[in-house]
Amino acid sequence: MNDYDLTVLTRELSMKYFGKPFQHQAAFNKRLRTTGGRYMLSTHNIEINPKHYEKFGRDELISILKHELCHYHLHIEGRGYKHSDQEFKSLLEKVGGSRYCQALPQIQSKRKTVHYYECMSCKTRYTRYRRMDTTKFVCGKCRGNLKKI
């Protein structure tokens, strides 16, 4: 499914469940990590995490789109569009959208490289996750030169 197909599906769902047209764009956004989708307040567009569609299928996609369409239509009408608003909760229940999307399995994070430095004068040791330029930094205790160990 591409962005055009997603927009067409979103327009169909909007007419079927809300009786109102969706006049903006829906697109997949690979950069989304912690959410299934989001409604953009400034542009009125909807972005969907493609990993949810690939992992859980069309039914989960439709559920996410219903959720985002609730935000969309309530915001356009100037009504309570936030998760905490009662209007949002009741509309979401009415159309059968999900309050939360299914959780994706956690991606293994890369192991951080640890860098060790030692002061050449007082022998104080420093542990850093980012590499330091030893020509620019000195020991915090005695102002001695540092060396990577």
pLDDT in tens, 83-128: 999 999 999 999 988 888 888 877 656 677 899 999 999 999 999 9
CB atoms within 10 A of CB 55: 12
Residue extent(s) of CATH 3.30.2010.10 domains in the chain: 3-95
Which of 54, 60, 68, 118 is labelled catalytic?
68
Q: Is-catalytic flag, 68?
A: yes
Q: What is the CATH number of domain 3-95?
A: 3.30.2010.10
pTM over the 0.75 mark: no
